[in-house]
Amino acid sequence: MAIARPIRMLGAACILLCLFLVFQLHQSSSEEGSKLAHGMKKDPLVDPTGEPAGNLWRADEHDYSPDSEQSARTNAALITLVRNEELGQLLSTMTDLERTWNSKFNYPYIFFNDVPFTEEFKQKTQAMTKAKCQYELVPKEHWDVPDWINMPLFYESAKVLEEQDIQYSSKISYHQMCRWNSGMFYKHPALAGYRYYWRIEPNVKFFCDVDYDVFRYMEDGNKTYGFTINLYDAPQSIPSLWPETQRFLAANPSYLSDNNMWEWITDDVARPEHTKGANGYSTCHFWSNFEIGDLDFFRGEKYEAYFQHLDRAGGFFYERWGDAPVHSLGIGLFADAANVHWFRDIGYNHIPYLNCPNSPKCSGCKAGQFFQGADFLSKEDCRPTYFKYVGTH
């Protein structure tokens, strides 16, 4: 039976309208990740982003071949603490990092684990790269819960944290991992001869071609620490971290750097309830699943004494102190802020946050997008506070 022309037209109009609505919905959900936090007028990542200034070392001008005795590589390694079960996710990370950077520079990988790596893990990771891979066991004395920790108190505290929705509070290995990343990784004998490290994790993404030696950039510019993402933490996971830090500072006032990040650390304007919950600490931190750092800083007297103080205080177990706020307070208080670098040009994602610059060298993310998922995640962006007090360098 033939359908009258006006009905056909109406049907077509309805289909077009539906398509238009679907398109609008898609647009608004993909823009979701670009909502700006804390009154930031414009995300600097929306502006065209190039390489940092200075003399950069490139693979076509220097010898970066994997087995060269005289290679231009500096004293640096890619490092990760990882479980055998995360092999698939780690291969995904390595695929991205090799594609965007390391296939040009061939820096070695050092994999750390609290249990031995399987043969499959070793074979499949080595097959991803021309660079050397090394597989290291974490010494028992670096991983075990220290003997001054009262285990019944740990279980009690974990229950309280769980009631406050703090993820992984009852998982003792998570606490051990945070402690190892805070104060043990740089003591591992495999890193003794190295100066710089770049930490990677399973299942992270790299979006942009990086065509210079980032470790040489750190060394030539005397950089202590490099980051991509700046976030708020959950105050309930670190209520006594700042009070303990202040106790340490009172005993060691000369450790405080002249050019420190005090205002970023103690800001109580952007998110006052966070600063209050963390007893004076804004909770702003460098997200340490990505970090490029100078091991000499961490091995140095100030940071090591700070870690020892925190470790004795017990908060890695009775609370859920993460290595990210601990590194950040160490860097923010004891390093020179001029030597901390925002790698804005390294496109990066660890679920659910991103660093996504506007550059023809990038693909797979939207310039300026900070998060993927529900809108409330935009609140966790601490970059406006960091840019305000420390800068965008």
Ligand X SMILES: Nc1nc2c(ncn2[C@@H]2O[C@H](COP(=O)(O)OP(=O)(O)O)[C@@H](O)[C@H]2O)c(=O)[nH]1
| Smaller CB separation from ligand X, 129 or 339 | 129
User: Angle 92-86-232 (CA atoms, 0-180°, nearest 5)?
Assistant: 80
> Does residue 202 belong to the site contacting ligand X (CB under 6 A)?
yes
Q: Is 243 left (phi over 0), alpha (psi -120 to 50) or beta?
A: alpha
The correct pick among 35, 38, 62, 83 for binding ligand X (CB under 6 A) is 83
* 86 counts as binding Mg ion under rule CB under 5 A: no
In the complex, minimum distance from the CB of residue 218 to ligand X, in angstroms, rounded to a whole number = 21
CB contact at 8 A, 256 and 334 = yes
Stretch that binds ligand X, among 28-36, 67-75, 102-110, 170-178 (CB under 6 A): 170-178
Measured distance CA(368)–CA(360) in Å, rounded: 14
> Which of ligand X, Mg ion, none does residue 80 bind (CB under 5 to 8 Å by kind)?
ligand X
Buried b / exposed e over 89-122, threshold 16 CB at 10 Å, is: ebbbbbebbbebbbbbbbbbbbbbbbeebeeebb
Which CB, 38 or 83, lies closer to ligand X? 83
With vertex at residue 85, the alpha carbon angle to CA 79 and CA 90, rounded to the nearest 5 degrees, is: 40
**Residues in 198-227 that interact with Mg ion by CB under 5 A:** 201
Q: Does the active-site annotation cover 32?
A: no
Residue 114 in contact with ligand X, rule: CB under 6 A: yes
Tokens of 34: 């670009």
Q: Which is nearer to ligand X, 77 or 390 (CB)?
A: 77
Using the minimum distance from each CB to ligand X, give the nearer residue, 142 or 299. 142
CA–CA gap between residue 4 and residue 8 (Å, rounded): 6
Map the footprint of ligand X across residues 268-327, applying CB under 6 A: 289
Interacting residues with ligand X between 332 and 361 (CB under 6 A):
none
The residue annotated as part of the active site, out of 31, 51, 244, 291, is 291
Strands 291-294, 133-137: parallel, antiparallel or unpaired by DSSP? unpaired
Rule CB under 6 A: is residue 113 a binding residue for ligand X?
yes
Within 8 A by CB and 6+ apart from 298, the residues are 185, 186, 304, 330
> Is 131 or 177 the residue whose CB approaches ligand X more closely?
177
Of 47, 173, 26, 42, the closest CA to residue 114 belongs to 173
Residue nearest to ligand X (CB): 173
Told to check if 228 binds ligand X by CB under 6 A, we report no
Candidate ranges 195-203, 226-234, 244-252, 373-381; the one touching Mg ion (CB under 5 A): 195-203
Quick check: bond before 352 cis, omega within 30? yes
Helix (H, G, I), strand (E, B) or coil at 225: strand
List of residues contacting ligand X (CB under 6 A):
80-83, 86, 113-114, 173-174, 177, 201-202, 289
List of residues contacting Mg ion (CB under 5 A):
201
Report, as residue numbers or ranges, the catalytic residues: 291
